[in-house]
Structure 1
Amino acid sequence: MAKQSNKTQSPRRKQQKSVAVSPAKLQGRDQDIVLIDQVIDRIHEGGSTLVISGEPGIGKSALLEAARHRARESDMTVLSMTGVLAEVHLPFAALEQALRPLMKEAVGLVPRQRSALLAAFGMHDDMATPDIFLVALATLSLLTESAARKPILLVADDAQWLDEATYEVLAFISRRLSSDPVVLFVAMREGFNRLFDDASTLRLRLSGLSDADAERLLDSHAPDLSADLRSRFLKEASGNPLALLELPRDRRAEDARDATWLPLTERLERAFSARLTDLPAPTRMLLFVAAENDGTSLHEILSAGEAVLGGHVDVGAFTPAIAAKLIDIDEGEVRFRHPLVRSAMHQAADLATRQRIHAALATIVRDQLDRHLWHRAAATIGPDDELASEYDAMATRALRKGAVAMAIEVLEKAAALSSTTRARSDRFLRAAELAADLGQPELLDRLLLQVDFDQSDTIVPVRIGWCREISLSPAVDDPAKVSTLIGFATQARSEGAKDLAMNFLWRAAQRCWWSGASDEVRKRVLDAANRLELPEADPRLIAISAYVEPLRRGHEVYNELQGLSEIARGDPATARILGTIPNVVGAFDLGTSLLAEFTATLRAQGRLGELTRVLLSRSWAEMETGNWIGAMREAEESALLAEETNEILWIAGAAIVKAKLVGMQGNLDQSEAYAAQADRQLLSVGANYMRVLLQISRGVSAIGAGQHWKAYEQLKPIFGPADAVFVTGIEFLGIADFVEAAVFSGNAEAAQNIIDEVERLSASRPVPWVETVLHYGRALLAAPENAEQFFLSGLGPASVRFPFLRGRLLLAYGGWLRRQRRSTDARAPLRECRDIFDALDASPWGDRAREELRASGESSRRRSEYMWEKLTPQELHIAQLAADGLSNKEIGARLFLSHRTVGYHLHKIFSKTGVTSRSGLRPVLASIIHPER
């Protein structure tokens, strides 16, 4: 990587090399090497991940070197990275180390991916904050593009010490290797809470060597031990290969009578540090410098050593340390033979020595600003406000790289350097806000406990309240929390923090929606927002109106959304807020276009966290507007991304959408399987709003099966204020289903009460979807002589935007006409609804339409089956993009897949559909029609 001033860089100048170890020399690891060989031999069948875990010294690195040896024999490219505790503060340092040999190929990346990767490595600052997932996708693209020419082994040693950004990238690509000749081998110590949790990940936990293997290893390296020492070392080592090799080298072994009770790690560190006494003073100092340095550069270590020692030191000073088997030097790099050696050297140096070393290193690496600041801070005792301000700037740089975890660490250090309580508290609070966004409650608590303030600083408790709030999902069922948030907003407003006050009220409004606050509390939220006197076009104000009074203010919000859609296209922050609103008020027709644009923006930016939620909202809107294929596709992708980001709520939400879709299509068993999955997941997160949607999905599935009494029982709880599932303000989403279930199960009076209540709460003119639903409900409830006017009103132009709802209206209207002995008139609406249901594959309703047509005197053809229906949602999505002319690389960039994975799916698509080229897909997909809008 080119050297540039004022930019964080990895201090490594070349990819680290490991000491070559022949696999044949690994005592007692034959079966483990067989597994490694098998994984490498199968690489042309697709990639995989192997995680090797175990205690320090158990042989993880040796097995990785065996894997490198095997890969090179197989003519594979080998890329390596090693986590180093001293480098965890350098975002993407380990990733840059591994990818350096491939960076010439970065020119071929999609522009945003290339920019994100170069910005992450400090090579330029030409873009806004690169989302970690965009960097990950760029990494995946580089790997798979290179692997298409030559298979790749990617090795990550000591993964417990990888910087957080690199670890997240590895976790991302690990889940996407199944179709590419890329193998990822990861070694990490036991006891570290870092998991590669993909179900396909292979795991190898190393245990100690057998007694026989341990004896052979010890005897081969220390053949002259006395019987007493031999027995003792075998017992202390407990099969640990590093201990068997290193303990006999400790000159003090015979005198170390206390060693038996020490943990093995400490015992080994003592064995390493004991060798210091035999080393010349300059050599010891150079080892201390190497231990404190966050790089491996021989030049840096010698320069800093000279500064500390006050005289010239040459490379020969390292010779005794090499002879003592503490370090190796290779092409300008100094490497400890094991991380425990570095740890031992660090502990052997006293505090004053470490500070002098860091001061020297700060001078040596002055052209690498972030490294310079880290060393300067390590050399500082007590407050230093100038340095604290520089750390603030470092945190900003970290955030620009998407390294949020690093920014938190930097701000925490800046707080420690602050001389005033106010500055210290401000920095801890800023770090806490980031921790809350990351969803790390333990870190958040630790940061907030360090916030200290006096009674005059009244805004601090409000900011603490905000940190606590954003660390929780607004979906948590806690209506009482709304009043607390209103109180915080009032305090923020009194301090002049209007923006913070509005954020509190925006969250309060969300909680009203999710947990069903009373009308009084909702009014308080709206009144408080209006008192802030913010511009009427503030998207949060529009959102608050939608969330607290979705029916009464729905039409007003509908019009405002139309006016702001253009602004949202160029403003992601506005789009983020506005994108949540359409489904809340039932403006699904607006939601599809608005959410589609927002989805495209998030894809381009690689922001998977937000994309997950937007895809879920979009899937519900598409379901209501008749694009069921798109709805299933978005729900599937949302679920996959939610699993990656561990968002249980959105996994459950996607399962609910899928349950409703397949239920409406007549697959009751699969519908209930999805519903049961969502039920289990919602147990841990609450979210009554989701439970309302779940009951609606179960209810409409039962209606399709003709089980109206069962549907009534499923839907009744969402309209009963005393029921645990009831949530005020969102029950209107299930009105059509509840009325139909109630009417056909003999409970029309209950349905009439609900219709009356919704009409009371609604504006004089509801949004089109709600208006159509109300017409449908009135038509089903009306006396025979009055029903037709409601049917005709419901079948107005607005209903065309909602095909399934229109189909149900037409089915009910055709049935009503037939019962009025107007069979000839009934046939036209029945034909139309049949065609709508066939296009949607809503077979239960399509079958019912055919029955009604037969009863009216007209036979009906069976629904045609289409070739594309054999495809999974993901395959269908890829097929549509390919038919639109996108290349495999472009499809991969859009769907966060490698181009080889796209090719794998296309091969399956061609096999299922019988076509042999992209051009053949368009005729197959032409049969995918959306009902006329």
Structure 2
Amino acid sequence: MREVEGGLVGRAPEIESIRALLADVTDHGATIVVCGEAGVGKTALADAAVDYARWRGIDVLRAYGVEAEKDVPWATLHQLVHALRDRVADLPAPQRNALQVAFGESEGPQPSLFLTGLATLTLLSERATAAGLLVVIEDLHWADHATRAAIGFLVRRISSEPIVMLITSRSDEAADQLDATLEQHRLTLDPLSDTASRQLLDGQDPPLSPAARDLVLREALGNPLALIELSVAVRRGDWPLPGPLPLTKRLENAFAHRLTPLTAAERAVILTAAVGANGRQPDLVAAASRLHGDEVGSTAVDGLVRAGLLKQTAGEFRFRHPLVRSAVIQTATPDERTRAHLAVAELLPPGTDRRLWHLAVAAERPDDELAQALEHSATRAHSAGDMTTAMEAFRRAAELSPELEDRAYRNYLGAEAALAAGQVTEGKQLADQVSRQTTDRALLARVAWLLELFPGGAMQRGDLHTAITIADELHTSGNSDQAINILTTMSLHLWGSMPEGPIWSTMIERAEAYGADPADPRLLCLKAFGTPEENSQHVRKIVNGIDPSLIDDSEHLRLLGLALTNVGELERVESFLQPAMNGLRRDGRLSILALTMQSSAFDLYRHGRFRQMLDLSDESQRLAEEANEPFVAMAAHFCMLTAQAVLGEDIDLSSIRDAFPAAAIALDHNPFLVIEALTQGIADASHGRHQAAFEQLKRATDPTSPIYHWGWSLKEAFPWFIDAAVRSGHRDDALGALQRLEALPGLTATPLHRGYLVLARALLADGDDADDAYASATAPTHNPLPFWRARAQLANGERLRRQRRIKEARHELRQARDEFDRMHSRPWADLARAELSATGESSPRRKPDPGATLTPQEERIATLVVEGLTNREIAQRLFLSPRTVGAHLYATYRKLQVSSRAELGPALGLPS
């Protein structure tokens, strides 16, 4: 087979870049985004890539964004997956159901964007042959929002797949939304140079006259499509066109002139093709026949191909260029476009979103049945996390609603979706419409609360009375459950910056007055967050009496886990958080899942499982970035830094502003101020900088400090501060902190703070009381915190050595050393070894930690393998493809020098 020719004038570097990626596809996947104005050559470059891929034996899949279907959920993805439909039945059940529900092929809860993306990833991974797979997505700027989210999901996961994705877009913004790392494979096509433009014209037949040639060169401005089409227009006598027009419009007009001689049947075919996305000939002909009112034969399609308006690729017909589609739509009358949408809709299965949107576009007057169907579609999009589509669907449903109250309610739902999508202007506009369309007190109260949540709302300015008044209004109007939800949302918003104050008692009193059940997770969370000293025992008693296996609501499980965490419980936190995370994974709710992982990560921290904390925090950051939640991602990064600091790794807090520019403003406010001080204090302590640690941790634990936050100060920073204060000679400061904790009996009765209490008393003990104090601090029955028990054993060993009680000192120091080794906390293990050496006893060299050579992702996968999960099950849990799991597992085998799954557990020190 001869090599494919380049063929594109002036695009040699771009062709070479694409060919290089395709040549390496069997080693690793990649994404290349081609941006540029209309007609600059994106489609031609994609065609060249397809030709080259097929010449190399690489499989090709192709889909197109279509302007007429840009609001239809999954419209573009449906084109892509259609070629893989025979493999859908073999997908894991959650993924199979996700695709079938998304495409309207079965009923069920709308799947999340990410679960549908995962299903697509699995299909593409399994379709990819040994030679590789090229996936071409053209006109990303016209792809629907759901598809764009799924494509973003894919491009972040194909590095281990033999897949190259080539994406074209007129809009840099649309490409930027995929992933910032795509800059390394971003091609921006500029106009051709004058030399290349002349070369392109020289290849046209018949040649232009010198005058016409100069005119085309001057008007085309180096745009390849303009050079070709304006040359054709000159030869046809259709150009120059009158008046100063933008180049894109001139090209549309040039194509529009080609439409004039078409027959009625050909116009029916090309118009139905323009408003729909299906390029298969039987469907085109069927829709065109409905529009034409008579049977249309295949000869009409063939005529459009000969006219250079359509072209056939792999059994499907598509427009020669997107501007042809634009020209067809612009030249059609409103009535023709309406009838074309109806013709396309008649061919689509009833109940599908694509059919519904074509009907909605064609609707010219209020239609209650259609409005209800659109509201249902919008609700499903909302459940899937596709808030942009939901907003548009709710808005259109409102426009089609005959009744004013229905219109108001649907506009409210649209405003709610806009808030979730971060579209502030659109949301406020819809909210303003509601205020003019209804007098319903409950709905107006809900709108008022929505406006509170938009940037600049009264609550964000410190006015909490307005939110309480709104909750009261909802309760009075018979919407008590929504009123309690408002209080819960307030608590989650406020706790970071205002963890104390009378507002908490007010919210708790209101929730009880609204009729909240004593065991309602929302009420328990309010009490645990706002009044832990008063309510810690009450919350623990109620939650410990709840069986999590009887709860199927992930949010309720999460709130109960948060309540237990906040009141210092240790044993049952995971029994609520783990099933909550399982449910959130299953539903693909990545934002809330990432937050819940952080709560679980700190539970691991309290149990001394720092490596697992690091792995889970890494996953939380990945998922938060996936869900476009920069604040959540930054919080996850701090969790990772905390784990790394305890493990003795070097950390760099100065880079966080650069790493999270969209969230960096939060670093100037609590709780990030106190978290930053805590993290730096832990790092300083782990590296033996005890004075520096004391100074950082004093800021975090002193109630007069501007960054003081009782939760972070008393739950996380307290033991670090006591130890740093004692080691740096600030005994009085440590004693003051201990006395402040002792004055809170409601907290010190909890397992967490009971452990802190006996630790602090031991570190501050002297004389005859020290032996008993250290006995309590090192006993699991009194101190349930493994890391801090080991720290107490280290401190006790140091004390006993100074008292020359060498035998006792060695016993304590050995225990501390072995525990720190088990927890992989290198700096503290090294300190225990040094202290043992000072007693005259040498320690065995610390065994190399094989897990330290693994990335967090590799260690997470290896741990799940040890737990008995298959590659496919791991892929489902971690939102990866089985092939990617296999690649990580192969790297893990190589690093650990093992050859089977059975050897992983022993190699990592895990029970198999």
Q: Same fold (TM over 0.5)?
A: yes
Which residue in 2 is equivalent to 1:444?
427
Q: Between 464-473 and 98-107, report the one with greater CA deviation.
A: 464-473
Partner of 1:529: 511
1:88 to 2:74 alignment: no
Cα distance, 1:436 vs structure 2: 2.5
Aligned position for 1:582: 564
Q: Quote the residue 1:337 is aligned against.
A: 320
Whether the 8 Å CA contact 1:77–1:151 is kept in 2: the answer is yes
Q: 1:372: Cα distance to partner?
A: 4.0
Partner of 1:199: 181
Alignment correspondent of 1:236: 219
SS in 1 for 2:63: strand
Aligned partner of 2:51 in structure 1 is 69
Instruction: Mark the CA change 1:604 to 1:374 in structure 2 (over 3 Å): closer, same or farther.
Output: closer
The 3 A distance-change label for structure 1 pair 361 and 31 is closer
Q: What secondary structure is seen at the aligned counterpart in 1 of 2:821?
A: helix
Give the counterpart of 1:52 among 26, 34, 37. Answer: 34
Tell me the SS of whatever aligns to 2:14. Answer: helix
Distance, in Å, in 1 between the alignment partners of 2:705 and 2:459 is 14
Question: Which residue does the alignment assign to 1:143?
Answer: 124
User: C-alpha distance in 1, partners of 2:179/2:626?
Assistant: 9
- The Cα of 1:345 is off from its aligned counterpart by 1.9
Q: Residues 841 and 124 of structure 1: is their aligned pair in 2 closer, same or farther, counting only changes over 3 Å?
A: same
SS of equivalent to 2:308: coil
1:98 aligns with 2:86: no
Partner SS, residue 52 of structure 1 = strand
Whether the 8 Å CA contact 2:73–2:389 is kept in 1: the answer is: yes
Which of 600, 605, 608 is the matching residue for 1:626?
A: 608
2:371: which partner in 1?
A: 388
- Are 1:784 and 2:784 an aligned pair? no
SS of the residue 1:122 aligns to: coil
Amino acid paired to 2:645:
G
Q: CA deviation at 1:759?
A: 3.3
2:397 alignment counterpart: 414
Following superposition, the deviation at residue 368 of structure 1 comes to 5.7
> What are the within-5 Å matches in structure 2 for residues 256-655 of structure 1?
261-280=244-263, 283-284=266-267, 286-293=269-276, 295-296=278-279, 314-316=297-299, 321-328=304-311, 335-363=318-346, 365=348, 367=350, 369-399=352-382, 403-453=386-436, 456-468=439-451, 480-567=462-549, 570-655=552-637
Q: For 2:550 and 2:24, locate their aligned partners in 1 and report how far apart those are by CA, in whole Å.
A: 48
CA 1:284–1:60 in 2, change beyond 3 Å: closer, same or farther? Answer: same
Gaps of 5+ in 2: none
Change (3 A) 1:856 1:219: closer
TM-score, normalization: structure 1? Answer: 0.89
Structure 1 equivalent of residue 643 of structure 2:
661
Q: Matched residue of 1:262: which SS?
A: coil
Quote the Cα distance in structure 1 between the aligned partners of 2:872 and 2:836. Answer: 49
Q: Which residue of 1 aligns with 2:857?
A: 874
Aligned to 1:166: 147
- 1:294 is displaced (CA, Å) by 5.1
CA distance in 2, matches of 1:909, 1:279: 63
Secondary structure (helix, strand or coil) at the match of 1:807 reads helix
**Closer, same or farther: CA 380–111 of 1 in aligned 2, 3 Å:** closer
- What is the DSSP-based 3-state SS (H/G/I as helix, E as strand, rest coil) of the residue aligned with 2:164? strand
| 2:232 matches 1:246 | no
Structure 2 CA distance for aligned equivalents of residues 776 and 593 of structure 1 = 27
Q: Structure 1: which amino acid aligns with 2:759?
A: Y
1:13 maps to what in 2?
none
Which range moves more in the overlay, 737-746 or 515-524? 737-746
Identity of aligned residues (%): 35
Cα pair 1:90 1:163 within 8 Å, conserved: yes
Q: What is residue 132 of structure 1 aligned with on the other side?
A: 113
Structure 2 partner of 1:797: 780
Deviation at 1:415, TM superposition (A): 0.6
Q: Secondary structure at the match of 1:204?
A: strand
In 2 relative to 1, CA 96–376 (structure 1 residues): closer, same or farther, beyond 3 Å?
Answer: closer
Q: Structure 2: which amino acid aligns with 1:647?
A: E
- Name 1:912's counterpart in structure 2: 895
Q: What is the DSSP-based 3-state SS (H/G/I as helix, E as strand, rest coil) of the residue aligned with 2:217?
A: helix
Query: Which residue does 1:113 correspond to in 2?
Result: 95
1:153 maps onto 2:134 in alignment:
yes
Q: Please state whether the residue corresponding to 1:56 is helix, strand or coil.
A: coil
Q: Kindly provide the amino acid, as one letter, of the partner of residue 123 in structure 1.
A: E
| Residue matched to 1:31 | 13
- Match of residue 7 from structure 1: none
| Match 1:837 to one of 820, 840, 849 | 820
Q: How many residues align?
A: 906
Q: CA RMSD in A?
A: 3.3
Deviation at 1:754, TM superposition (A): 3.1
Mapped partners of 1:764, 1:890: distance in 2: 41
Three-state SS of the structure 1 residue aligned to 2:572 is helix
Check conservation: 2:617, 2:637, Cα contact below 8 A. Answer: yes
What does the per-residue CA deviation read over 1:226-275, in whole Å, with 9 as the maximum and x for residues that have no partner? 33322111111111111111123336997866757311111111112233
2:156 to 158, 161, 175: 175
Distance 1:252-1:495 versus aligned 2 partners, 3 A rule: farther
Contact 1:655 1:678 in 2 (8 A): no
Following the alignment from structure 1 to structure 2, what is the Cα–Cα distance between the partners of residues 508 and 62? 53
Deviation at 1:925, TM superposition (A): 2.1
Output the CA distance in 2 between the equivalents of 1:707 and 1:756.
25
Alpha carbons of structure 1 residues 318 and 570: separation in structure 2 relative to 1, 3 Å: closer
With 625-634 and 149-158 compared, the bigger mean Cα shift is at 149-158
Distance 1:121 1:371, change over 3 A: closer
Residue range with higher mean Cα deviation, 641-650 or 446-455: 446-455
- Give me the whole-angstrom Cα distance separating, in 2, the residues matched to 1:736 and 1:641: 31
Deviation at 1:174, TM superposition (A): 1.2
Moved more, 165-174 or 758-767: 758-767
CA distance in 1 between counterparts of 2:305 and 2:125 reads: 39
Pair 670,800 (structure 1): closer, same or farther in 2 beyond 3 Å? same
State the distance in 1 between where 2:239 and 2:301 align: 28
Please say if 1:902 is aligned against 2:876: no
Residue deviations 1:398-446, cap 9 Å, x none?
4566644333221110011123332212111112222323344344334
Deviations 1:594-627 (A, max 9, x none): 3333333333444333322222222221111011
Q: Distance in 2 between matches of 1:405 and 1:528?
A: 34
Out of 790, 810, 824, the residue aligned to residue 793 of structure 2 is 810
Q: TM-score, normalised by structure 2?
A: 0.91
1:707-786 matches, cutoff 5 A: 707-721=689-703, 723-733=705-715, 734-763=717-746, 766-782=749-765, 784-786=767-769
SS in 2 for 1:67: helix
Shift of 1:673: 6.5
CA change 1:732–1:289 in 2 (3 A) is same
Q: Match of 1:208?
A: 191
Change (3 A) 1:314 1:445: same
> What is the DSSP-based 3-state SS (H/G/I as helix, E as strand, rest coil) of the residue aligned with 1:514?
coil
Deviates more, 1:346-355 or 1:496-505: 346-355
In the TM superposition, residue 502 of structure 1 has moved relative to its aligned partner by 0.7
Judge conservation of contact 1:119–1:130 (CA < 8 Å) in 2: yes
**Residues 585-594 or 644-653, more deviating:** 585-594
Task: Encode CA deviations 1:344-382: one digit per residue, 9 max, x unaligned.
Answer: 222222323333444555555574654443333333333
Q: 1:814 to 1:36 in 2, by over 3 A?
A: closer
